[in-house]
């Protein structure tokens, strides 16, 4: 296929995006059945909802079109999220729900020696590559994977094949790729294109997908404008790795904020419609930790966070073991406490500061209590009290001086980037 690339730092309009989609679809004739794989609502800033709407409207009149959000281990989108994301364009009967525990089949395995080489001997295991069986047996003429390239705590730079191997993948790949990243060191991977987890996904892509599955990637790079509207600045389409590489180059320029010095107090805000658990809300930890001073404080304003895990299994694992440090979790891991739930161990490692700084979750008591937050290893503050001290409606992104003279660094939308001191 002819790949399509567009970069415009001033912004790509919906009309321009639609024209690119027309050029893409013009290369495929007689499409009878198409699968679209966008992210879920936790990536609401990706512009993927708009692209899915355009694709569905163009394809549905003449083809059977299914939309399977790349949930990974996240909970399925509720009615409000679907309305916000798809604007009523995609009907419920066209939406397929991916169940990572039950809906997958194996298409191969990444050998143990490959994982050992990638991890420099730190992690020695093979990794079974599982996908939702509909990608293999669904009879689709074309599969369109839509994703936002942005700094990411596990794979370094989302998206590309992560949208497939994790988003509609199964237990082994999700578990072990997350553990690989945690063992190799998350801060070494953040914002890096060729991270250990990415090398695993590349191996799986090259050996089990390329030339075997009719898969095309649509990669976006976005920011927010002054009115906090999503601004599409890069759109790259193709079946090779090149669209991802071009998107990485732009995202590293636009989505990584180089802070001049570490903040003694960092405050970040979790949109209540986007982030409802610490499992995904800990983007507030991952994306800011490289800009927090040793001995400093990270304050997470979390008005919508009501649980720890996106499903009951992961919620219980978090409540049982907590975010209590790398050594503590690795000791439990080595004792077999996580069995076939290795992703939980990885998540708990990544969600801890390892004592380098204090993490305070500010929740509404009726959502998660002080006792519940303290039990998993975090400090707690009532959201109502915290938001009166650090009003997210009044603070601006970056350095702020409060009325009492205290200096803080504020991040309004942690999911959109990475903040670090070089």
The encoded tokens of residue 74 equal 């996240």
Q: Which residues fall within 8 angstroms of residue 236, CB to CB, at 6 or more apart? A: 3, 4, 5, 6, 217, 218, 219, 220, 242, 243, 244, 246, 247
> Are residue 145 and residue 213 in the same domain, yes or no?
yes
Do 286 and 143 lie in one domain? The reply is no
> Whole-angstrom Cα distance, residue 345 to residue 299?
23
Residues 218 and 354 in one domain: no
Euclidean distance between CA atoms 367 and 305, whole angstroms: 7
Read off the pLDDT band of 42 (50, 70, 90). Answer: confident
Which residue among 197, 221, 254 closes a domain?
254
pLDDT band at 73 (very low <50, low <70, confident <90, very high): confident
- Asked if 315 and 225 sit in the same domain, the reply is no
The pLDDT tens digits for 324-358 are: 999 999 999 989 999 888 889 999 999 999 999 99
pLDDT for residue 141 is more than 90: yes
Domains identified in the chain, total number = 2
Check whether 108 has a pLDDT greater than 90: yes
How high does pLDDT run on average in the chain?
A: 95
Choose one of 195, 224, 254: the last residue of a domain: 254
Question: Is residue 231 located within the same domain as residue 271?
Answer: no
Give percent of the chain with pLDDT exceeding 90.
Answer: 91
Can you give the CATH number for the domain in which 307 is found? 3.90.226.30
Do both 303 and 376 map to the same domain? yes
Do 209 and 262 belong together in one domain? no
My answer on whether 90 and 190 are in the same domain is yes
pLDDT tens for residues 282-328? 999 999 999 999 999 999 999 999 999 988 989 999 999 999 999 99
- Looking at the structure, tell me whether residues 271 and 240 fall in a common domain: no
Average pLDDT over residues 373-391: 97
CATH of the domain at 18: 3.40.50.11440
pLDDT of 109-135, one tens digit each? 999 999 999 999 999 999 999 999 999
> Do residue 203 and residue 113 come from a single domain?
yes
Q: Is 88 helix (H, G, I), strand (E, B) or coil?
A: coil
Domain's final residue, options 254, 273, 308: 254
Q: Which of 4, 203, 6, 16 is nearest to 118 (CA)?
A: 203
Q: What's the pLDDT at 186?
A: 86
User: Has residue 280 got a pLDDT over 90?
Assistant: yes
Task: Say yes or no: 250 and 262 in one domain.
Answer: no
Q: Is the dihedral of CA 282, 417, 85, 54 positive or negative?
A: negative
Residues 271 and 244 in one domain: no
List the domain range (segments joined by +) for residue 94. Answer: 4-254
């Amino acid at each position: 296929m002819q790949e399509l690339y567009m970069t415009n730092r001033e912004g790509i309009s919906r009309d321009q995006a639609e024209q690119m989609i027309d050029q893409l679809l013009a290369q495929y004739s007689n499409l009878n059945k198409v699968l679209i794989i966008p992210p879920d609502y936790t990536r609401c800033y990706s512009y993927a909802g708009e692209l899915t709407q355009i694709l569905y409207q163009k394809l549905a009149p003449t083809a059977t079109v299914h939309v399977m959000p790349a949930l990974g281990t996240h909970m399925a989108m509720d009615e409000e999220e679907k309305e916000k994301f798809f604007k009523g364009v995609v009907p419920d009967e066209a939406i397929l729900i991916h169940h990572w525990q039950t809906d997958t089949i194996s298409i191969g395995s990444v050998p143990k020696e490959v994982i050992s080489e990638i991890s420099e001997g730190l992690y020695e295991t093979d990794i079974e590559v599982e996908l939702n069986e509909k990608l293999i047996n669904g009879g689709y003429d074309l599969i369109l994977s839509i994703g936002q390239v942005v700094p990411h705590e596990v794979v370094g730079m989302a998206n590309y094949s992560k949208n497939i191997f994790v988003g509609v993948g199964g237990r082994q790949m999700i578990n072990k790729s997350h553990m690989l990243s945690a063992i190799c060191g998350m801060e070494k991977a953040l914002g890096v294109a060729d991270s250990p987890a990415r090398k695993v996904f590349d191996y799986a892509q090259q050996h089990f997908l390329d030339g075997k599955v009719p898969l095309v990637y649509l990669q976006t790079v976005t920011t927010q404008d002054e009115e906090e509207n999503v601004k599409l600045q890069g759109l790259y389409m193709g079946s090779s790795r090149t669209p991802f590489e071009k998107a990485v180059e732009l995202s590293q320029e636009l989505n990584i904020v180089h802070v001049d010095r570490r903040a003694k107090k960092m405050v970040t805000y979790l949109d209540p419609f986007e982030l409802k658990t610490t499992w995904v809300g800990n983007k507030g930890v991952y994306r800011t930790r490289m800009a927090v001073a040793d001995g400093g404080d990270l304050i997470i304003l979390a008005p919508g966070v009501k649980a720890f895990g996106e499903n009951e299994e992961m919620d219980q694992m978090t409540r049982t073991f907590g975010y209590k440090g790398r050594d503590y979790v690795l000791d439990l891991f080595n004792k077999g406490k996580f069995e076939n739930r290795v992703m939980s161990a990885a998540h708990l490692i990544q969600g801890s500061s390892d004592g380098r700084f204090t993490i305070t979750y500010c929740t509404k008591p009726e959502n998660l209590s002080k006792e519940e937050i303290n039990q998993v290893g975090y400090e707690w503050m009532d959201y109502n009290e915290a938001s009166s001290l650090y009003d997210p409606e009044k603070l601006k992104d970056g350095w702020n001086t409060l009325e009492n003279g205290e200096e803080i660094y504020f991040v309004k939308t942690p999911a959109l980037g990475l903040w670090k001191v070089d």
